Structure 1
Amino acid sequence: MENIERLEVLWYTTFNDKVKVIPTYIEGQILQNFLDENNRLPRWNVAF
C-alpha cells in the first residue's frame, strides 16, 4: 500500500494556437529532469 494522503494533478496546455510544444517532448523532458535529479526514474513510471 502506498499510504497516499493527497494527490495533486497539474494540467498544462502544451499545444494550441499560441503554444506549439509536442506533449511527448514535454513528457520526455520531465522524465529526464527527474532522472538527472534523482538518478532514477519515478517509481510509477511505466513507459521506460
Structure 2
Amino acid sequence: MAGLIAPVARLIEAFGRLPGVGQKTAQRLAYHVLRTPADEARALADALVAI
C-alpha cells in the first residue's frame, strides 16, 4: 500500500480485517466509500460507531 494516503490505507486495512475480505476486496470497498456521497459515507461511519 505504499504511496496511498494514510487515511485510505487505514480504511483498506480495516476492511481487510473483516472475515472473508482479502486485500483486493478491501481496496474495492475503500474506493467505493471514497466515491460515495458524503452523507452516505457518514451514515456508514455512524452505523459502525453505534455498534
Q: Does the alignment reach a TM-score above 0.5?
A: no
Larger RCO, structure (CA 8 Å, separation 6 or more): 2
Structure having the higher helix fraction is 2
- Scaled to the shorter chain, the TM-score interval is 0.3 to 0.5
TM-score by structure 1 length? Answer: 0.37
Structure of larger gyration radius: 1
